[in-house]
């Protein structure tokens, strides 16, 4: 029997079936419109492709607390129709199978841990820098969560002296997301990030902010590995700069072999490439089945 996976993103909802070994078999992409338009197509996919469990990795914020009365709901999003939407419930009402529910980045870090860049590590952090900034972590083989999922995208960073951009986060202005997400990059240059030259100072600013956030996260979690994904990090040249700035900020403080001798394998690109999210969602379903 096949396993189902849903990666619910801001612009697309990817639905897939796969194997217990993490391979994707079928997949479709559905535009993220309002739930009443998108969800019937999602449900239809799984009617045609029956599965024994479904894993959902969703954009957030979402209620991932299994004991909460609103477990499985999207919470406070400005996205029309999705605020307070019972996403997990739509699946449990339609299919009599176990349904796992977590954030997209928690799914992605699980996928990378099972089959990607963090395979064989005991701990890892996956951060996506794209239209938003978010991160998930695996510690001792388990997805990290407390009273909610992490919200590392809103960490505060020190401003680069050359950077005068105010930041676009409605809560914090110039938090990590407010300064480094795609919108923030484009706003500085007046054109999309993809058209900005490699020599533009914006890349110095954002790599400085990302390196600061990684340093702070490292001091809290001490993970074996950082995996950076998302549209912004698809620009490969940013990895080298982030690694350099991380070492500069640490200034010799992190005397661990993993960091000092292996900075190129300490801060890495996703091993699953663009499939980290959907294969992570598959991983969420598999983990739920194993838990019983």
Residue from 41, 75, 77, 131 touching a second copy (CB under 8 A): that is 75
CB of 98 to a second copy, least distance (A): 21
Which of these, 109, 61, 58, 60, lies nearest to 229 by C-alpha position?
Answer: 109
Provide φ and ψ at 250, rounded to 5°.
-60, -35
Q: CB of 232: closest distance to a second copy in angstroms? A: 19
In whole angstroms, give the CA distance from residue 117 to residue 87.
29
Binding of a second copy by 28 (CB under 8 A): no
69 sits near a second copy (criterion: CB under 8 A) = no
Between residues 135 and 281, which has the closer beta carbon with respect to a second copy? 135
Site string for a second copy, 249-278 (x = CB under 8 A): xxxxx-xx-x--------------------
63 binds a second copy (CB under 8 A): no
DSSP 232: G
CA distance 42 to 193: 31
Packed helices 104-115 and 276-291: angle between N→C axes, nearest 10 degrees: 80
Q: Is 215 in the site for a second copy (CB under 8 A)?
A: yes
Q: Is the peptide bond before 61 cis (omega within 30 degrees of 0)?
A: yes
Report the site for a second copy in 151-180 (rule: CB under 8 A).
151-159, 171-172
Residue ranges that bind a second copy, judged by CB under 8 A: 75-76, 122-123, 137, 139-140, 142, 144-159, 171-172, 212, 215-217, 219-224, 249-253, 255-256, 258
């Amino acid at each position: 029997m096949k396993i189902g996976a849903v990666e619910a993103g801001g612009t697309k909802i990817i639905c897939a079936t796969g194997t217990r070994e993490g391979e994707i078999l079928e997949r479709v992409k559905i535009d993220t419109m309002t739930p009443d338009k998108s969800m019937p197509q999602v449900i239809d996919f799984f009617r045609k492709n029956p599965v024994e469990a479904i894993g959902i990795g969703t954009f957030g914020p979402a209620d991932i607390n299994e004991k909460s009365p609103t477990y499985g709901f999207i919470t406070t999003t400005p996205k029309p129709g999705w605020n307070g939407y019972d996403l997990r419930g739509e699946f449990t009402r339609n299919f009599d199978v176990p349904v796992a529910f977590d954030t997209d980045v928690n799914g992605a870090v699980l996928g990378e841990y099972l089959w990607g860049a963090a395979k064989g590590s005991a701990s890892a952090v996956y951060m996506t820098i794209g239209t938003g900034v978010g991160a998930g972590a695996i510690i001792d083989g388990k997805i990290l969560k407390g009273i909610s999922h992490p919200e590392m995208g809103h960490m505060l960073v020190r401003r680069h002296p050359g950077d005068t951009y105010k930041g676009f986060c409605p809560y914090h202005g110039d938090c990590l997301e407010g300064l480094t997400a795609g919108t923030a990059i484009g706003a500085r240059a007046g054109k999309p990030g993809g058209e900005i030259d490699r020599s533009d100072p914006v890349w110095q600013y954002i790599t400085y902010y990302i390196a600061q956030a990684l340093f702070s996260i490292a001091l809290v979690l001490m993970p074996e590995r950082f995996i950076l994904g998302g549209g912004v990090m698809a620009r490969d040249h940013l990895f080298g700069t982030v690694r350099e700035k991380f070492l500069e900020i640490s200034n010799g403080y992190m005397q661990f072999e993993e960091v000092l001798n292996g900075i190129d394998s300490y801060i890495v690109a996703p091993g699953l490439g663009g499939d980290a999210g959907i294969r992570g969602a598959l991983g969420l379903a598999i983990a739920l089945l194993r838990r019983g």
